[in-house]
Amino acid sequence: MPILGVNFTKIEAERKTIPKGNVNISSNISIKSVEKNEFKLPGQESIKIDFVFNADYNPNIGSIIVEGETIFVDEPKKLEGILSQWKKDKKLPEDILARVMNSLLEKCNVEALILGKEVGLPPSLNMPTVKV
């Protein structure tokens, strides 16, 4: 897989009130920017993808924000097409978008679980349960 890793640049977790009753959690991840990166491998170049992940706990209980970047490596010609499409309409090709978003969601959801626990927010993902 041509995704080299996910690095966080900002992590923020806030609990405003003690959770009571039903808590609705909405999470979202978005790509802020895509740009050429200096990192290269033999026959390959890279782009840097900046992102922001938000988890909002309602009614107004708290929030988690995680910002960061990931490095995507591929052939120079393919990266030129990706950069061109991003500059044109702020979108990534669907096959690239799926790989990038799945990688980001995996890392961000785990981080959100940890951060939520630290500040006393309910888990942002449904945890498995055993039924007897």
22-81 residue pLDDT tens: 889 999 999 999 999 988 888 889 999 999 999 999 998 999 999 999 999 999 999 999
Residues 6+ apart with CB under 8 A from 70: 3, 4, 5, 6, 7, 48, 49, 51, 100, 103, 104
Closest CA relative to residue 109, chosen from 25, 15, 32: 25
Query: Which positions ≥6 away from 14 have C-beta within 8 Å?
Result: 62, 63, 64, 119
Spatial separation of the C-alpha atoms in residues 125 and 92, rounded to whole Å: 26
Residue 66 is encoded by which pair of tokens? 């995680």
Burial tier of 64 (Cβ tally within 10 Å: 0-12, 13-18, 19+): buried
Global confidence as pTM: 0.88
Using DSSP's 3-state secondary structure scheme, residue 12 falls into: strand
pLDDT band at residue 117 under the 50/70/90 scheme? very high
Least confident of 43-52, 103-112, 118-127: 118-127
